[in-house]
Amino acid sequence: MKTLTSERRKEYAGPALRTFFNICRDWKVNNHQMQILLGLSSESTFYNWKKIPEEAKLSNDTLERLSYIFGIYKALQILLPNPTIADDWVNCPNQNPLFNRQKPIERMLSGQVADLYLVRRYLDSERGGW
């Protein structure tokens, strides 16, 4: 992912975080899990972002995480055209070795950007994108 200027990151903050919070609502992800997905260790920062997303100062790491989450969401909507089924997929145990019979959200909640990347890559390959 390309490194963005601070001005560009500020411009993206509001729309990106609002989209993220909507996806998390659809996936039934709680606040603590959202904080992990964003790679945040500060609860106060998380709640400030949730309250006023436009004022968030997103790092390139956070933007990368958001990009993978948006890609996962989009791939699920393409693969599973029923929105309810697509949204439920992250919370259903999966037999694929990548998930080891766990829910995909558990893999995504490892806290590592690499795990978000792997889930995104898996879904992209399932839809023929890789």
Domain residues of the chain, as ranges?
Answer: 6-126
Q: How confident is the model at residue 32 (pLDDT cuts 50, 70, 90)?
A: very high
CA nearest neighbour of 66 among 22, 26, 20, 108: 20
pLDDT tens digits for 62-105?
A: 999 999 999 999 999 999 999 999 999 999 999 999 999 999 99
Per-residue model confidence (pLDDT) at position 11: 81
Q: How confident is the model at residue 12 (pLDDT cuts 50, 70, 90)?
A: confident
- pTM for the model: 0.91
**Tokens read off for 71:** 């890609």
∠ CA 48-53-54 to the nearest 5 degrees?
A: 120
